[in-house]
């Protein structure tokens, strides 16, 4: 049954081996021969595994069924981090396999929860690898697979439905799914070039500009410094980050339509994007006002700068920090974590339940309140002037039920393992929503390195759930999925 999925996965592994050329190139550029050999070994092992799997499964080449697509998506996101973790395990002093896998899972799911301290002293190639993985994972490894599947003689619509974020998964830009994937990546790459140049203009050197471009466009939040963006102490760097975090938090489908039609209409006519912008603006001024009233900063301009950066960073699930915001009034850190659970748009590189689901939930709640007063009124839920089909609303409500149950269940596991309440609950919220930093021990001034192996594996699973939006993972645990 798993043969076709494993056959395609063998090609994914071989393609993934080529990605090791990026950190290998940085190691060569910095005359780091020892680490250059390590990267070559990791690439060789990954390539050999892919070739061996291809030999074993090549007779299973056929069109993927729906369950094959779900199985392949889970294989990619669960197994690729194991190969990505190998060089981290080999090169970072004192790093256990549990921590290395957690770090790689965090990178590929664009979560940004790090378990490594002393980032400032790591080899450049190691930090490049961590950040580059977030760039690849930002839009989705599976979109790359969709783009190359036609060359394998296989269809890709099943994968697109399984991996693409958001409830409106059948919306396409072009008649062929491979063209859609390539269109999204072209926009992603174009914004990336502008972001890279923006960071360079703001004063970063080329390695830092490249690494932070990767983690900004992926809304992922890794940095090459323990102090994150705060290391630079630069308003210019912060505003570049703000602009591109805001852009990456919007659906790349909409960006593609804007560039293709040379009009902003797809942005301002989209209810989700209008709500996204309104929430970010309101939250920024609310937080800035609280910081000014509490006299955390000497003037409103400084308060607005810090508020804007951290609202954008947490709300878009990037997870950068310029200061330890846990030292702010207690309401603000919790509020920022809450924003990260829903603000990003469907089709963006952000995590969370997505703004469109929140909009639909609010509309459904309003509809039920109206029905209590007027039982016979016809009041369907609409979005963009169109009636939302009942199956979409059922999927959204089902998603929220499982989302709540999964969050509580994983938090209880961490509590049973001995973690304190604030750290346990915030760590699960931060990983399920791919935000990165949480509260307590895993706040912006700390990291996940002090957690036990069991706790790291629980949170690795939480990141997988969040990146694939729950259903794509949990469907594998149903009896119907495995029934022929």
Domain that holds residue 466: 355-482
Query: DSSP string of 325-351?
Result: GGGS-THHHHHHHHHTTT-SPTTSS--
34 is a domain residue:
no
pLDDT score of 25: 92
Backbone angles phi, psi at 23, to 5 degrees: -65, -30
459 contacts 448 by C-beta, under 8 angstroms: yes
Distance CA 232, CA 212 (A): 12
According to DSSP, the residues that pair with 387 across neighbouring strands are 382
pLDDT score of 156: 45
Q: Which pTM was predicted?
A: 0.92
Question: Tokens 């609280």 — which residue?
Answer: 290
Backbone angles phi, psi at 383, to 5 degrees: -145, 120
- The total number of structural domains that make up the chain: 1
Half-sphere exposure of 116 (CA within 13 A, CB side): 32
118 is a domain residue:
no
Structure tokens at 406: 């999964």
29 contacts 99 by C-beta, under 8 angstroms: no
166 is a domain residue:
no
389 is a domain residue:
yes
Question: Tokens 């259903």 — which residue?
Answer: 471
461 is a domain residue:
yes
462 is a domain residue:
yes
346 contacts 254 by C-beta, under 8 angstroms: no
Q: What is the DSSP letter of 169?
A: T
Q: Outline where DSSP puts E strands in 369-465.
A: 382-383, 386-387
Structure tokens at 334: 């919790």
119 contacts 221 by C-beta, under 8 angstroms: no
Distance CA 253, CA 363 (A): 23
pLDDT in tens, the chain (484 residues): 688 889 989 999 999 999 999 999 998 887 677 788 999 999 999 999 999 999 999 888 877 777 888 888 889 999 999 999 999 999 999 999 999 999 999 999 999 999 999 999 999 999 999 999 999 988 775 464 444 344 334 444 444 455 556 665 555 555 566 677 777 888 899 999 999 999 999 999 999 999 999 999 999 999 999 999 999 999 999 999 999 999 999 988 889 889 888 889 888 888 999 999 999 999 999 999 999 999 999 999 999 999 999 999 999 999 999 999 999 999 999 999 999 999 999 888 899 999 999 999 999 999 999 989 888 888 888 887 788 888 888 888 998 999 999 999 999 999 999 999 999 999 999 999 999 999 999 999 999 999 999 999 999 999 999 988 888 889 889 888 888 7
4 is a domain residue:
no
Who contacts 172 (Cβ-Cβ below 8 Å, separation ≥6)? 180
Distance of CA 332 to the CA centre of its chain: 23
Structure tokens at 104: 């790689």
Question: Tokens 């039609």 — which residue?
Answer: 261
Distance of CA 433 to the CA centre of its chain: 8
Angle, alpha carbons 368-372-376 (nearest 5°) = 95
């Amino acid at each position: 049954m798993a043969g076709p999925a494993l056959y395609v996965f063998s090609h994914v592994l071989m393609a993934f081996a080529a990605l090791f050329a990026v950190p290998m190139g940085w190691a060569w550029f910095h005359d780091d021969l020892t680490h250059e050999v390590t990267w070559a070994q990791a690439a060789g092992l990954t390539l050999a595994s892919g070739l061996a799997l291809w030999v074993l499964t090549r007779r299973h080449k056929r069109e993927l069924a729906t369950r094959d697509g779900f199985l392949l998506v889970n294989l990619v996101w669960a197994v690729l981090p194991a190969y990505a973790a190998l060089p981290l395990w080999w090169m970072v002093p004192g790093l256990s396999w549990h921590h290395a896998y957690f770090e790689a899972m965090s990178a590929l799911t664009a979560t940004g929860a790090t378990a490594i301290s002393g980032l400032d002293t790591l080899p450049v190639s190691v930090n490049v690898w961590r950040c580059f993985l977030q760039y690849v994972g930002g839009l989705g490894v599976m979109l790359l697979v969709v783009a190359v599947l036609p060359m394998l003689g296989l269809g890709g619509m099943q994968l697109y439905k399984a991996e693409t974020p958001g409830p409106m998964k059948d919306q396409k830009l072009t008649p062929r799914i491979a063209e859609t994937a390539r269109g999204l990546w072209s926009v992603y790459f174009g914004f990336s070039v502008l972001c890279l140049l923006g960071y360079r203009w703001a004063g970063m050197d080329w390695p830092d500009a490249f690494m932070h471009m990767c983690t900004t466009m992926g809304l992922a939040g890794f940095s090459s410094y323990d102090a994150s963006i705060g290391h630079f102490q630069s308003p210019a760097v912060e505003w570049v980050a703000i602009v591109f975090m805001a852009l990456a938090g919007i659906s790349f489908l909409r960006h593609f339509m804007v560039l293709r039609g040379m009009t902003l209409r797809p942005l301002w006519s989209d209810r989700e994007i209008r709500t996204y912008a309104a929430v970010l603006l309101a939250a920024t001024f609310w937080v800035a006002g609280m910081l000014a009233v509490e006299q955390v900063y000497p003037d409103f301009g400084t308060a607005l700068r810090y508020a804007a950066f951290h609202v954008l960073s947490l709300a878009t699930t990037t997870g950068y920090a310029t200061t330890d915001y846990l030292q702010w009034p207690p309401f603000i850190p919790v509020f920022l974590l809450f924003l990260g659970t829903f603000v990003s748009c469907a089709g963006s590189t952000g995590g969370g339940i997505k703004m469109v689901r929140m909009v639909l939930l609010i509309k459904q709640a309003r509809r039920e309140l109206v029905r209590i007063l007027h039982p016979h009124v016809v009041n369907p839920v609409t979005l963009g002037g169109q009636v939302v089909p009942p199956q979409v609303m059922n999927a959204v409500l089902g998603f929220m039920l499982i989302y709540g149950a999964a969050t509580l269940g994983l938090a209880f596991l961490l509590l049973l393992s001995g973690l304190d309440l604030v750290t346990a609950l915030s760590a699960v919220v931060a990983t399920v929503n791919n935000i990165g930093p949480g509260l307590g021990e895993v706040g912006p001034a700390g990291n996940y390195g002090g957690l036990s192996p069991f706790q790291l594996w629980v949170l690795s699973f939480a990141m997988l759930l969040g990146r694939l939006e729950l259903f794509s993972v949990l469907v594998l645990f149903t009896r119907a999925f495995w029934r022929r």
